[in-house]
């Protein structure tokens, strides 16, 4: 099941390879079919998922069964390293409460991304090949339970992303692509070292061999006491935690490692922005929850405050930077930075409310930001500009678009009744309830006001009032005698067309539904989050030691 959902896009990619590049529509439809089937599989996994199982660590005796679900485990690479033993890399997939929601999110955003890619005109075949490779890599990251396998998927994401931005992007695309590539690569080099260190520090209780299994690594009793990253080597464990954290923080992205994101977003084509903000950023925080924190819980305990401070900086700094932007897409990019700060803050709280809020925020930010970037794409397609000041009074002429923008913007500013509110609310509830992060939470609430400020201000400048004199469109008299607007070089429908509605309506519905009744998604994660909180708690560590 999981293998299928991971490799389905690659299979579609192989089919595309056989299709002549002139058959653009077939290429698109094959990709869409793969994405839709992936979506169906995700729903099946969702239906079959038992939310009462904890995940994170193995059951007593090291068996992942009974804790993880949909497990697929095969030996993959075995290397004899002479007197150093043997290198055992497994093909090990499975889901728990941390990954199940991300699997659903990835399938959803990939599908919408394919729809959004319909407007790609240049080298369609190559585009969809890379797109499908990217979809596989993302899904693989979320379900891989072997660190090596995770690393392979993690690195595999870089390649298609590099080309998708570098070839199909905006004017400054090469700079943005290489910045993204090198920045992420910089983070993952250290991950490789830590991974090898962990391998030689952990014994799988089932086999007695060294292992890359993240499940085994998450239990502190599986560590060899005097190994390089064993409990006796406190210093190296700190170093390993920090470099791993930086690796993931780059992906989040966390201040001060965030500057690749606005560049990448501004240059990336709309569907790639959607994927980037909707899924890729979550890999950073997912990596923290899956790998960084449970593997080094005592270091996490010591760094909660610092992580919280960085979360608060992200929230407020991101909001202020967004307030100053003139380019709508850049504003949305900074709003992403701000909203990912909530995730960091929730994680730093290290209690169930905060971590659930953080994980739920990852899901909601995925859907809401996907919506925001799609909406930016809609107006960019028509007006060929994203300068906020080049608009004005759009609400009178594009009422459906304005309506959906209003929903998306208010979802982003955390309006109750929409999903983003619940996750942000519980992040604050958790962060305030934890004595470590209490004061950080009190400062971070400023983000609520400034978040509203930049969103409402942009809404006003673009949609309310009247057309500005230097607007990117003209006022003309329509066939019905009513005044309407005209974009240069745009022959499509003025307001949203069917394809755009097909992308946006599901996201709107999800945002509203999960804002009123969050349990379908939140219910999947609570058991796992509670267990994670236990694994990370000082009490638990005292028991182990």
Residue closer to other proteins by CB (options 99, 211) is 99
CA dist 57 and 532 (Å) reads 9
Q: Which two tokens stand for residue 166?
A: 């570098």
Q: Cβ of residue 323: shortest distance to other proteins, in angstroms?
A: 4
CB atoms near residue 268 (< 10 Å): 28
Residue position matching structure tokens 């992906």: 251
Q: Residue 74, SS3?
A: strand
Q: Cβ of residue 444: shortest distance to other proteins, in angstroms?
A: 10
Q: Cβ of residue 119: shortest distance to other proteins, in angstroms?
A: 28
Residue closer to other proteins by CB (options 8, 471) is 471
Q: Cβ of residue 410: shortest distance to other proteins, in angstroms?
A: 7
Q: Cβ of residue 54: shortest distance to other proteins, in angstroms?
A: 10
Residue closer to other proteins by CB (options 23, 530) is 530
| Chain residues that interact with other proteins, rule: CB under 8 A | 179, 182-183, 255-256, 258-260, 317, 320-321, 323-325, 351-353, 356, 393, 395-396, 410, 415-417, 421-422, 425, 428-429, 432-433, 438, 441-442, 445-446, 448-450, 452-453, 456-457, 460, 463-466, 517-519, 522-523, 526-527, 530, 533-534, 537
CA dist 249 and 288 (Å) reads 8
Residue closer to other proteins by CB (options 28, 390) is 390
CA dist 388 and 327 (Å) reads 6
CA atoms 362, 500, 414, 259: torsion sign: positive
Q: Which two tokens stand for residue 325?
A: 């932007």
Residue closer to other proteins by CB (options 6, 402) is 402
Q: Cβ of residue 33: shortest distance to other proteins, in angstroms?
A: 32
Residue closer to other proteins by CB (options 466, 488) is 466
Residue position matching structure tokens 């949909």: 70
Contacts of 241 (CB under 8 A, 6+ apart): 292, 296, 299, 300, 303
Phi, psi at 72, each rounded to 5°: -130, 125
Residue closer to other proteins by CB (options 211, 336) is 336
Residue closer to other proteins by CB (options 67, 201) is 67
Q: Which two tokens stand for residue 353?
A: 């409310």
Distances in Å between the Cα of 475 and the Cα atoms of 264, 380, 390 are: 34, 18, 14
Q: Cβ of residue 25: shortest distance to other proteins, in angstroms?
A: 33
**In 302-381, which ranges are E strands?**
none
Q: Cβ of residue 451: shortest distance to other proteins, in angstroms?
A: 9
The DSSP-derived string for 233-288 is -HHHHHHHHHHHHHHHHHHTT-TTS-THHHHHHHHS-HHHHHHIIIIIHHHHHHHI
CB atoms near residue 55 (< 10 Å): 26
Q: Residue 292, SS3?
A: helix
Residue closer to other proteins by CB (options 234, 449) is 449
Q: Cβ of residue 203: shortest distance to other proteins, in angstroms?
A: 27
């Amino acid at each position: 099941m999981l293998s299928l959902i991971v490799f389905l896009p690659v299979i579609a990619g192989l089919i595309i390879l056989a299709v002549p590049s002139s058959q653009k529509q077939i290429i698109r439809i094959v990709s869409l079919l793969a994405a839709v089937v992936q979506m169906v599989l995700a729903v099946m996994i969702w239906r079959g998922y038992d939310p009462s199982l904890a995940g994170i660590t193995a059951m007593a005796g090291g068996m992942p069964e009974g804790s993880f679900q949909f497990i697929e485990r095969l030996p993959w690479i075995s290397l004899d390293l002479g007197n150093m033993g043997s290198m055992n890399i497994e093909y090990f997939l499975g889901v728990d409460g941390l990954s199940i929601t991300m699997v659903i999110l990835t399938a959803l955003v990939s599908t919408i991304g394919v729809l959004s890619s319909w407007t790609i005109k240049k080298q369609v075949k190559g585009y969809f090949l890379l797109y499908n490779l990217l979809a596989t890599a993302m899904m693989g990251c979320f379900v891989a339970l072997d660190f090596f396998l995770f690393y392979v998927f993690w690195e595999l994401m870089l390649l298609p992303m590099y080309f998708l931005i570098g070839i199909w992007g905006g004017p400054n695309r090469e700079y943005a692509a290489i910045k993204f590539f090198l920045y992420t690569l910089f983070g993952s080099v250290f991950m490789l070292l830590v991974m090898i260190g962990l391998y030689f520090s952990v014994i799988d209780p089932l086999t007695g061999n060294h292992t890359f299994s993240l499940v085994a690594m998450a239990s502190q009793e599986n560590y060899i006491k005097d190994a390089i990253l064993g409990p006796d080597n406190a210093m190296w464990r700190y170093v390993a935690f920090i470099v791993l954290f930086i690796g993931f923080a780059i992906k989040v992205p966390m201040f001060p490692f965030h500057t690749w994101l606005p560049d990448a977003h501004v240059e990336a084509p709309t569907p790639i922005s959607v994927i980037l903000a909707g899924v890729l950023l979550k890999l950073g925080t997912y990596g923290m929850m899956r790998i960084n924190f449970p593997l080094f819980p005592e270091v996490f305990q010591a760094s909660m405050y610092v992580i919280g401070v960085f979360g608060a900086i992200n929230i407020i700094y991101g909001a202020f930077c967004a307030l100053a932007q003139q380019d709508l897409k850049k504003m949305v990019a900074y709003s992403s930075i701000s909203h990912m700060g909530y995730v960091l803050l929730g994680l730093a709280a290290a209690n169930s409310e905060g971590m659930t809020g953080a994980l739920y925020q990852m899901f909601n930010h995925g859907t809401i930001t996907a919506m925001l970037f799609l909406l930016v794409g809609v107006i960019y397609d028509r007006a060929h500009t994203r300068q906020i000041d080049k608009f004005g009074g759009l609400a009178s002429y594009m009422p459906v678009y304005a309506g959906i923008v209003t929903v998306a913007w208010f979802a982003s500013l955390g309006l109750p009744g929409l999903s983003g509110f619940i996750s942000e609310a519980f992040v604050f509830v958790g962060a305030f309830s934890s004595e470590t992060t209490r004061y950080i939470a009190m400062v971070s609430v400023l983000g609520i006001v400034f978040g509203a400020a930049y969103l409402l201000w942009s809404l006003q400048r673009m949609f309310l009032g009247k057309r500005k004199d230097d607007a990117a469109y003209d006022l003309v008299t329509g066939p019905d005698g009513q005044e309407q607007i005209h974009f240069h070089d745009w022959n499509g429908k003025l307001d949203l067309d069917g394809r755009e509605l097909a992308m946006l309506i599901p996201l709107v519905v999800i945002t509203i539904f999960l804002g009123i009744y969050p349990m379908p998604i939140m219910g999947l994660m609570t058991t796992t989050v509670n267990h994670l909180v236990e694994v990370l708690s000082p009490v638990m560590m005292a028991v182990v030691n």
